[in-house]
Amino acid sequence: MTAPSTTPHQASTAAPRGQLVLVPNTLDLGTDTEVSLHEVLPLAVIERAALLTHWVAENAKTTRALLKRVASITPLALPLQQIQITELPRPQKGAKPGAAPAADLAALLTPALAGRDVGLLSEAGLPAVADPGALLVQAAHKLGISVLPLSGPTSLLLALAASGLNGQSFAFVGYLPVEAGARSARIRELEALSRKWEQTQIAIETPYRNDALLGALVDSLQPGTRLSVASGLTLPQGECRTLTVQAWRQQAGRSLGRLPAVFSWLAS
């Protein structure tokens, strides 16, 4: 009697894929104050960042600057000059914010497909939140690459937590129009939504236009609406103030300077 033939188990030869690691950055970009990494990032995050040899970032220069700060705490896996840093492709003129060709994004994840972890870094705070890196995260999911977010500062949530406004229902609306008429119309539209849904509205602005946005909010919102301004979060000079719009109108000579700021409001 002939014994039944057996087929040996075929083990998969495919290399395990790496992860896309979302590494939070500090919130001191563009300011005169450099905070200690120990104050804003857990040691485990700093050590994890030191192990990464492939990065995708908005700006290679600021990524190297962060890695130098990391290296002052724990050794990097490779000399800084040997670490691969690739910048996110800039969107074509007229494209949606953060838009980039899918092929370009997939190419950035080639190291992960080969089994190496890839770090994603924003200019400030958590990558992919109010950040063009979100499209790279989307590409990673399409390619079956797991995404690992690390703990660190997120200005939007820090501002919301400190505002005393509704933290159970809120909406981040990004940047408001620059043109005065369109900006005022958008503010009134968002205030109506805030009143209807009892929902906190959150916006940001380029620091040099902080005072223009604050002035527009104070002029366009109803007197009883509560407006919160959080500036310089995690910095020694940082603060968060929440007042009614009527009270803001009584603040003489108000100015936020060039500190990064988050604006939140809740209509009554």
Q: How does pLDDT run across 62-71, given as a tens digit for each residue? A: 999 999 999 9
57 beta partners: 87, 121
Q: What domains does the chain contain, in order, with CATH numbers?
A: 20-149 (3.40.1010.10), 155-266 (3.30.950.10)
Residue 101: is its pLDDT beyond 70?
no
Across 15-24, 123-132, 163-172, the highest mean pLDDT is recorded for: 163-172
Average pLDDT over the chain, rounded to an integer: 91
Q: Phi first, then psi: what are they for 264, rounded to 5°?
A: -135, 145
Residue 7: is its pLDDT beyond 90?
no
Q: Region 190-219: what's the mean pLDDT?
A: 97
Q: How does pLDDT run across 71-88, given as a tens digit for each residue? A: 999 999 999 999 999 999
Residue 12: is its pLDDT beyond 60?
no
Q: How does pLDDT run across 137-162, given as a tens digit for each residue? A: 999 999 999 999 999 999 999 999 99
pLDDT at 10: 43
pTM: 0.87
Q: How does pLDDT run across 16-59, given as a tens digit for each residue? A: 899 999 999 999 988 888 999 999 999 999 999 999 999 999 99
The larger pLDDT score, comparing residue 33 to residue 203, is at 203
Q: Region 183-212: what's the mean pLDDT?
A: 97
pLDDT at 92: 60
Contacts of 259 (CB under 8 A, 6+ apart): 31, 207, 210, 231, 232, 235, 237, 238
At residue 9 the predicted structure's pLDDT band, cuts being 50, 70 and 90, is: very low
